[in-house]
Amino acid sequence: MTEIRFPLPDVGEGLTEAEIVQWRVAPGDAIALDQVFVEIETAKSLVELPSAFEGVVTELLVGEGTTVDVGTPILVIQTADAAGSPAASAPTSEQVAAPAAGAQPAAPPAAAAPATVASHASAPSEGGGAVLVGHGASGPSGTRRRQRHPSPGGAHEHLAPTPPPAPAAASAPAGGTPAPVAPRPDSGVPVIAKPPIRKLAKDLGVDLSRVAPTGPIGDITRDDVIREASQASVFRNIQTPEAPSDRETRIPVKGVRKAIAAAMVQSAYSAPHVSVFVDVDATRTMEYLKRLKASPDYAGVRISPLLIMAKAMLWAVRRNPTVNAQWTDDEIIVKHFVNLGIAAATPRGLIVPNVKNAQDMSMVELATALEQLTLTAREGKTQPAEMQGGTITITNIGVFGMDTGTPILNPGEVGIVALGTIKQKPWVVDGEVRPRFVTTIGGSFDHRVVDGDVVSRFVADVASIIEEPALLLE
């Protein structure tokens, strides 16, 4: 038997410490290769650590809620000395390597440990990027099968049963009679939703009985579920809680909140911000979105104003490349690729994952990437690599009902653009006041890199696409 003391690895570039959030194993538990045994919170994300060894857990060295430095032993595993086992001989810091090919140790061994394991290091994924063992990059998403509109005589035959606790509906008998559908508990109206929509609702914690359907046969669509989930997260604090009995609450500054604070202070006090705003008639964008949603090419893809905003940013960057740059003390580095950051509010705090090489994506590809980015962030599964290397950022404050704001630059970037809420307002068209969908676009920029004229042209270009998305066809 060999005792292995597992050190906290560096799961991101330059990580120095992390907090133990939740142990998934206890002393005496058997642990398998690549089994997730602990959740840690770094300065950027919540990460699940997989085991590099098989054996039995003998001791947890660090309690939950404790912050430890990289390289500190956190777990003791007893392994069998069997041929072919990862611990066939007592490992040393020179002998023990991560299970993935080409892996590099990320933390030095503890001096007093009988045998210390080099931390999980990055292994090549299918996409070529380095990933943590057990956290391979997602493969290419499967092709979505296009759903045909059901005939009136069998409108419900393709539907999945209502999620538990309701019992599964019986299959449709011969003759075309639709299977029974469980009624909504609050209204008595049947819930009509395709199986993928039901799965999405379950993943997002959405009660389908509370969703207003907008589908052609009264069915719940993907957008209906997404909208309900977004509203739930935005208005979750509507209910006023009871006042706590304690006179004050002290919240430790650590993890994501500590990283956010440091980044915002660095950005606000190192980069001289200049901000501009413009009101835009977004009526044609809203009409364009309706056409995209009705197109078979976009079946199963979430379409939202953020998609048009992202395309507008990419178009405007091509016309004003210096906003997609980085300031150093010695030079300005203009990037000829766009890693488009999307500021995302999560239960753990603000994070800014980015879509890599967004400039090369089609509209469908960009829509899919934005949807995946949003869902991953909401679930707290965004990895450090997904937040690195951003070149310019969008913050969609419109989802919170805000018209505009003065965002702070993401450190290392020159521009950030805010999209406000889109709502009907009186607007003068051809000398007449008419109701139009209006929004406000604002942005902040690093005045060391771009002057007022470049800033104004860039925001005006973004606004011109929101006002007339047909310009994207140029």
Other CB atoms within a 10 A radius of the CB of residue 44 amount to 26
- CA dist 2 and 423 (Å) reads 65
58 burial via Cβ count (<10 Å: 0-12, 13-18, 19+): middle
Do residues 312 and 359 touch, judged by C-beta distance below 8 A?
no
Residues 6+ apart with CB under 8 A from 343: 350, 351, 352, 393, 394, 395, 396, 407, 410, 416
- CA dist 191 and 219 (Å) reads 7
Q: Which listed residue (156, 158, 273, 447) is catalytic?
A: 447
Which ranges of 10-69 does DSSP label H, i.e. alpha helix?
Answer: none
Distance of CA 239 to the CA centre of its chain: 27
Name the residue among 437, 398, 431 with its Cα closest to residue 417: 398
Task: State yes or no: is 447 an active-site residue.
Answer: yes
CB-side exposure of 417: number of CA atoms within 13 Å?
Answer: 28
Q: Which DSSP helix (H) or strand (E) runs through 435?
A: strand 432-446
Catalytic residues: 447
